[in-house]
Amino acid sequence: MAVQPLPLEAYKSDEKPTWCPGCGDFGVLNGLYNAMRQKGLQTKDVVVVSGIGCSSRLPFFVASYGFHGVHGRAMPIATGVKVANPNLKVLAMGGDGDAFAIGGGHFVHAARRNLDICYVIMDNNIYGLTKGQTSPTSQVGFVTKTTPKGTPDRPINPLRLAIASGATFVARGFSGKPKELAELIVEGINHNGFAVIDTFSPCPTFNKVNTFKAYREEVADLPKDYDPSDLHRAIEYASSDDPMYLGVLYREEGASFEDHLQAAKIGTEENAPAVIEDLFRRYG
Amino acid sequence: MAERDDLVIRVAGEAGEGVLSTGQLITLAAARAGYGVLTDSVPPAEIKGGHSLFQIRLAPRRLFSRGDVVDILLAFNREGYDRNIRELRDGGLLLYDSGDFTPPENDGRYQQHALPLTDIARKELQFELGKNVVAVGAISALFGLDPEYIRKLLHQRFARKGDVVLNKNYQALDAGIGYVERNIPERGALQVKPGDFGNEARIVVSGNQAIAMGSLVAGCRVYAGYPITPATDIMEFLAAELPKVGGSVVQAEDEMSALGMAIGSSYAGKKSMTATSGPGVSLMVELMGLSSMAEIPVVVVDAQRAGPSTGMPTRQEQGDLFLAALGGHGEIQRIVLAPVSVADCFTQAINAFNLAEQYQMPVLLMGDTTLGVRTESIPTPDVSAYEIVNRLGITPHEGNGTNGAAGLGVESGYKRYALTESGVSPMSAPGQDGGQYVATGLEHNESGRPRSDAANHQQMTHKRFNKLEAARENAPAAHYYGDPTADVGLVCWGSMWGVVVEAIDVLAQKGIKVAAMAPRMVWPLPDKQLQPFMQSKRVVLVPEMNYTGQLAQLMRARYLRDVVSITDYSGGVFTVARLVQEIEGVHQHAR
Ligand SMILES: Cc1ncc(C[n+]2csc(CCOP(=O)(O)OP(=O)(O)O)c2C)c(N)n1
Ligand code: SF4
């Protein structure tokens, strides 16, 4: 039976976003709706998983299944969902604090497992929900109430971290370019493996430095002849500050975590009675 | 010749020297011969080398504890002798591998004989690897085991390696038996009457293995864990078995991840579990709150070890009850179960899944070091006798049936957290149309939308606590032992039960009546079981292996009645003798 493509409205829940006017997360949400429609996803088959933060509220605004968990643990929960049912389309969406500070360990391991999920990090270089503290992607010297003299910590480069950790699809998006972002999300969903899309998503309320205007001046599309399968080039381009490139920086094909899990299965639920009988025999 | 009623044999030596395999062979053969067996092993704290011991207690009946004293000590080396000789009972028998060392003469406190295991294996048999089998032969001859049972085991183990190897093993067995028959006159006094378990279908498993088997029977299909002593066996067991039933095991990067994965899998429709020990439970506490708030069933095994911090990882303690029952921020609904024996580990693993699914909340299953590693011969479980509970699902289109947002609104759509009378609401799984919702740790309304108004929070708190109260009302049956008419009552939990049961038998012989109970559910406290028991006693004693008397404190707080807390926090065993003495003391006063 052919599945019916859904109208854009079908992906919107009737819970209205609580974000501040002008928040970059609106653009990311619109990019997501459009990507889901372009992919023709059925809302019953999609799970949007997040942690805690302004950006992590996103699952409530999507009419699919969702999981809004605890701070930093989006990856473990998303992993569990995929382990239980590899047929589901799992998207993880949340902030840079969620992904790289409290969830930093999980991020690295989700990447090296090569989970078949698409992780859109809504990167505003600040903690929004807790009202404006420095984040792992804030620049050195970034002044907040917790770092009045400017943060001494050097920022994580999410793209380099993702590549180094083994992510097989690494991209950068920008909330100010929702059409391109939607395309990146479609590609990320299509990719069989861990797809990281670090997405500039400004917080106009607390971050007066990394604004839409500033990003517009700093970003550029990758050159036409760019080859995302070239690891060294990917690291080089991911490291560039001027400009900061948008698009798919790195892509590598191969088996995903789910492929390995499926291959490891040597029976089905029907075997359960026989397996238990055999156990009792072996220990008898 | 009078036959003994039970016997405790301890094999001690260098790890890797075959202490474990010697012990396991004897255990399995004895169990198959119809003895009740209960073992205990202490792995060395060091990874390589170090001191290792394996203790087997056997009797013609079911055993409940490892026994207080050692009847036969077989020391493979000097350290095995030095470390264990004190626990050999007066009149016991010391055997030592004279190829390795010669202990000093003793003043007649016990008998001692050389057992030249290494020499027999090396010189007589030219089969150095056969040393353990010589030991197995020697010990089995001491208590009177029919060698056929060992021959069969050797056949199972070595037949694939060809006749030469198999025959060498048979020779080693005979050499051990022959040596004892020729050289150890005391053996007549050590014969144990075999039990009549011989005709019964039985399995020989450890507590951890029983938990893993029970979870398979209960329907667990996803396991995520992070290795920690003494819980790791469960993960290793399931890693081999779950893929056979279409399930999966994931080794997570830490315990937060492990529980997060289990919660995610359960949300997506599979019964899920993780197992850890105290330090891991500490890390999981935030996610336990999530499981409670988002009403997602999940089973967490806490194989307790002695803490705090990383404490004494190979030693035992019942120190995590407060953490399990009360740990967390806010008020987390959770159920805590405590199995009392290896057989109960199997049953309680099934209870844990059933309760988690029935009430949609986290369930903790409290094992401990000795319960996890000890093996017992138990009746093969009759799987059909266990009811398996599955979660309340949604009927197709219980939501509005439309695919998408239209109508999935606050009022019209599927209400994941519907306020039902029982507090349990039908739970959809991703992939089911009409069941779309967002699971969340935030307070939410019936549809799962974040809400923090007072009325809603009160309603939802009621909903969740209603489930807990229902669980309290319908707690699985407790264990009872002893004379119900006794004035003195014992309440204990978990692996303390075995010691309690044996103490009661000893006291009964002295004419002292005691009644005991161990609730299977230790949180919430099962009023219907505990209250009548406490009311029928003049004194209630609560023996526990911790310093603070955790169950005693929880009982005092709920029932406003004092109980006598008896604690042992040595990391060693709470002995039957100590408990008998304590109860005798109380009994004197009570009169
Ligand atoms: C264990 C824990 N620690 C701290 C917090 C507080 N907290 C909530 S969101 C957040 C950071 C949010 O930043 P980010 O993830 O970048 O998301 P944003 O709000 O900027 O979208 C913090 C520290 C929490 N909820 N839980
Ligand atoms: S605080 Fe910043 S990140 Fe949060 S909603 Fe407002 S603008 Fe967006």
Instruction: Please say if the pLDDT value at position B150 is more than 70.
Output: yes
Percentage above 90 pLDDT, chain B: 88
Q: Do A279 and B381 touch (CB under 8 A)?
A: no
Distance CA(B328)–CA(B153), nearest Å, equals 49
Q: Do B243 and A49 touch (CB under 8 A)?
A: no
Contacts of B269 in chain A (CB under 8 A): 84-85
Distance (Å) from the C-alpha of residue B516 to the closest C-alpha of chain A? Answer: 31
Instruction: Please say if the pLDDT value at position B409 is more than 50.
Output: no
**Residue B246: which of A67, A69, A267 has the nearest Cβ?**
A267
Catalogue the E-assigned strands of B281-332.
298-304
Instruction: Please say if the pLDDT value at position B160 is more than 60.
Output: yes
Condensed to tens digits (0 to 9), the pLDDT of residues B552-562 reads 999 999 999 99
Residue A90 Cβ < 6 Å to ligand 2:
no
Give the mean model confidence (pLDDT) for residues A233-253: 98
Give the mean model confidence (pLDDT) for residues A113-125: 98
For residue B441, the ligand closest to its alpha carbon is 1
Instruction: Please answer whether residues A132 and A207 qualify as being in contact, where contact means their C-beta atoms are separated by less than 8 angstroms.
Output: yes
Residue A69 Cβ < 6 Å to ligand 1:
no
Instruction: Please answer whether residues B370 and B306 qualify as being in contact, where contact means their C-beta atoms are separated by less than 8 angstroms.
Output: no
Q: What is the pLDDT of residue B410?
A: 31
Q: Where residue B408 falls among pLDDT bands split at 50, 70, 90?
A: very low
Q: Do B437 and A12 touch (CB under 8 A)?
A: no
Condensed to tens digits (0 to 9), the pLDDT of residues B94-123 reads 999 988 889 999 999 999 999 999 999 999
Condensed to tens digits (0 to 9), the pLDDT of residues A164-219 reads 999 999 999 999 999 999 999 999 999 999 999 999 999 999 999 999 999 999 99
48-107 in chain A: CB under 8 A from chain B: 49, 57, 59-60, 63-70, 73, 75-85, 87-88, 105-106
**Between A and B, how many CB-CB pairs are < 8 A?**
214
3-class DSSP assignment, residue A101: helix
145-164 in chain A: CB under 8 A from chain B: none
CA nearest to B521, candidates B324, B387, B369: B324
Instruction: Please say if the pLDDT value at position A1 is more than 60.
Output: no
Q: What is the pLDDT of residue A5?
A: 82
Q: Where residue B400 falls among pLDDT bands split at 50, 70, 90?
A: very low
Instruction: Please answer whether residues A53 and A129 qualify as being in contact, where contact means their C-beta atoms are separated by less than 8 angstroms.
Output: yes
Q: What are residue A133's DSSP bridge partners? A: A127
Q: What are residue A65's DSSP bridge partners? A: A47
At B395, list the tokens.
């009927």
Give the mean model confidence (pLDDT) for residues B205-217: 98
Name the strand (E) or helix (H) holding B578: helix B576-590
Is the minimum CB–CB distance between B430 and chain A shorter than 8 Å? yes
Instruction: Say whether the peptide bond before residue B185 is cis (omega within 30 degrees of 0).
Output: no
Give the mean model confidence (pLDDT) for residues B397-414: 46
Instruction: Please say if the pLDDT value at position B195 is more than 90.
Output: no
CA distances from B380 to A186, A276, B27, B202, B218 (A): 53, 11, 16, 5, 16
Residue A191 Cβ < 6 Å to ligand 1:
no
Contacts of B258 in chain A (CB under 8 A): 76
At B77, list the tokens.
């080396």
Distance (Å) from the C-alpha of residue B94 to the closest C-alpha of chain A? Answer: 31
CA A50 to ligand 1 centroid distance, Å: 11
Q: What are phi and psi of B287, to 5 degrees?
A: -75, -25
Query: Residue A112: closest CA among chain B residues belongs to which residue?
Result: B253
Instruction: Please answer whether residues B419 and B464 qualify as being in contact, where contact means their C-beta atoms are separated by less than 8 angstroms.
Output: no
Give the mean model confidence (pLDDT) for residues B320-346: 98
Distance CA(B233)–CA(A184), nearest Å, equals 43
CA nearest to B87, candidates B151, B12, B15: B12
Instruction: Please say if the pLDDT value at position B406 is more than 50.
Output: no
Condensed to tens digits (0 to 9), the pLDDT of residues B226-260 reads 999 999 999 999 999 999 999 999 999 999 999 99
Residue bearing the CA closest to ligand 2, atom 6: A20
Instruction: Please say if the pLDDT value at position B179 is more than 70.
Output: yes
Distance CA(B442)–CA(B439), nearest Å, equals 9
3-class DSSP assignment, residue B542: strand
Residue A54 Cβ < 6 Å to ligand 1:
yes
For residue A18, the ligand closest to its alpha carbon is 2
Instruction: Please answer whether residues A234 and A228 qualify as being in contact, where contact means their C-beta atoms are separated by less than 8 angstroms.
Output: yes
Contacts of A284 in chain B (CB under 8 A): 201-204, 380
Give the mean model confidence (pLDDT) for residues B332-354: 98
**Residue B438: which of A44, A60, A109 has the nearest Cβ?**
A60
Most B CBs within 10 A among A16, A44, A57, A116, hence the mutation to make, goes to: A44
Q: Do B250 and A83 touch (CB under 8 A)?
A: yes
Summary mean pLDDT of chain B: 93
Distance CA(B74)–CA(B478), nearest Å, equals 39
Contacts of A58 in chain B (CB under 8 A): none
Q: What is the pLDDT of residue B24?
A: 93
Helix, strand, coil in percent for chain A, rounding step 5 = 40, 20, 40
Distance CA(B454)–CA(B339), nearest Å, equals 39
Residue bearing the CA closest to ligand 2, atom 1: A128
Distance (Å) from the C-alpha of residue A274 to the closest C-alpha of chain B? Answer: 9
Q: Can you say how many angstroms the Cα of residue B254 is from the centroid of all Cα atoms in its chain? A: 23
Distance (Å) from the C-alpha of residue B533 to the closest C-alpha of chain A? Answer: 37
From A16, A131, A200, A205, the mutation candidate for ligand 2 (largest count of ligand atoms within 8 A of CB) is: A205
Q: What is the pLDDT of residue B134?
A: 97
Q: What is the pLDDT of residue B407?
A: 37
**Residue B290: which of A64, A70, A267 has the nearest Cβ?**
A70
To the question of pTM greater than 0.90 for the whole model, the response is yes
383-412 in chain B: CB under 8 A from chain A: 383, 403-406, 408-410
Instruction: Please say if the pLDDT value at position B492 is more than 90.
Output: yes
Q: Do B262 and A80 touch (CB under 8 A)?
A: yes
228-267 in chain A: CB under 8 A from chain B: 261, 264-267
Instruction: Please say if the pLDDT value at position A162 is more than 50.
Output: yes
CB neighbours (10 Å) of residue A51? 28
From A57, A129, A175, A203, the mutation candidate for ligand 2 (largest count of ligand atoms within 8 A of CB) is: A203
Output the CA angle B509-B510-B512, nearest 5 degrees: 100
Distance (Å) from the C-alpha of residue A19 to the closest C-alpha of chain B? Answer: 14
CA B51 to ligand 2 centroid distance, Å: 60
Contacts of A261 in chain B (CB under 8 A): 248
- Residues whose CB is less than 8 angstroms from the CB of residue B166 and which lie 6 or more positions away in sequence, other chains included: B154, B155, B158, B159
Q: What is the pLDDT of residue B411?
A: 34
